[in-house]
């Protein structure tokens, strides 16, 4: 079970901070799956195969509900499923970081390894967009302490 699902209550208790900081870039298939499941189209194309979810005016992800749960939980993008394990792209190299949030101490080594594998499978253009193109990611996550792997 993905971390984000097992610890849903923790993210809700933290008022889903991540979902108020940025909306994740997603693949074409993820966009297709969200639309096929009947949810609203909040997408904008970045490059072929990579889409952004347009944030609301207040910066929140449009799928974040008032009770801090995710409207598209069952079809949420992989980036959201693996959070707070985050694929990193820096100096032309892929890596992994974990943000030290309320979830951090709850993740077992086994769970981390499984989630890391999932995060490493996220297509490179998505990861590049997250780190290289989106200044939001760099700026807004400065306040977290990172663990690098
Ligand atoms: S991953 Fe961590 S920082 Fe993000 S919403 Fe969940 S508990 Fe909060
Ligand atoms: S899709 Fe769901 S989990 Fe992902 S940022 Fe939006 S509200 Fe949060």
Q: Average pLDDT in the 17-30 region? A: 88
Q: Average pLDDT in the 27-33 region?
A: 97
Question: Who wins on pLDDT, 143 or 15?
Answer: 15
Atom of ligand 2 nearest to the CA of 83: 3
109: Cα within 13 Å, side-chain hemisphere: 0
How far is the centre of ligand 1, averaged over its atoms, from the C-alpha of 4 (Å)? Answer: 9
Q: By C-alpha distance, which of 130, 148, 128 is closest to 139?
A: 130
Sheet of 25-27, strands arranged across: 25-27, 50-53, 43-47
Answer whether residue 5 shows pLDDT above 70.
no
Q: Alpha-carbon distance 110 to 126, whole Å?
A: 25
Atom of ligand 1 nearest to the CA of 18: 4
Per the structure, how many domains does the chain have?
Answer: 1
Which domain range does residue 50 map to? 3-148
pLDDT at residue 122, as a whole number: 96
Other beta carbons within 10 angstroms of residue 145's beta carbon come to 9
Higher-scoring residue by pLDDT: 8, 53: 53
pLDDT of residue 101: 83
Ligand 2 pocket check for 19: Cβ under 6 Å? yes
Res 136: pLDDT:
63
Residue given tokens 């801090």 in the structure block: 68
Q: Which two tokens stand for residue 26?
A: 């997603």
The string of DSSP letters for 61-110 reads -TTB-TTS-BTTGGG--HHHHHTTEEEEEETTEEEEEEE-STTGGG--HH
Query: What per-residue confidence (pLDDT) applies to 53?
Result: 93
pLDDT tens sequence across 94-115: 999 888 888 878 888 888 899 9
Rounded Cα–Cα distance for residues 100 and 40 (Å): 32
Question: pLDDT of 37-86, one tens digit each?
Answer: 999 999 999 999 999 999 899 889 999 999 888 999 999 999 999 988 88
What is the pLDDT of the chain when averaged over all its residues?
85
Q: Ligand 2 centre and the CA of 91: distance in Å?
A: 28
* CA 23 to ligand 2: nearest atom: 5
């Amino acid at each position: 079970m993905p971390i984000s699902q097992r610890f849903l209550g923790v993210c809700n208790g933290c008022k889903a901070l991540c979902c108020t900081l940025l909306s994740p870039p997603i693949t074409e298939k993820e966009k297709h799956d969200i639309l096929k499941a009947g949810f609203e189209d909040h997408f904008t194309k970045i490059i072929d195969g990579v889409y952004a979810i347009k944030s609301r005016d207040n910066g929140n992800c449009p799928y974040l509900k008032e009770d801090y749960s995710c409207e598209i939980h069952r079809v949420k993008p992989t980036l959201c499923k693996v959070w707070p394990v985050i694929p990193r792209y820096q100096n032309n190299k892929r890596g992994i970081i974990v943000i030290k949030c309320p979830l951090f101490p709850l993740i077992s080594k086994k769970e981390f390894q499984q989630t890391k594998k999932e995060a490493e499978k996220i297509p490179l253009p998505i990861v590049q967009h997250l780190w290289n193109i989106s200044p939001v990611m760099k700026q807004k996550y400065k306040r977290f302490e990172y663990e690098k792997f």
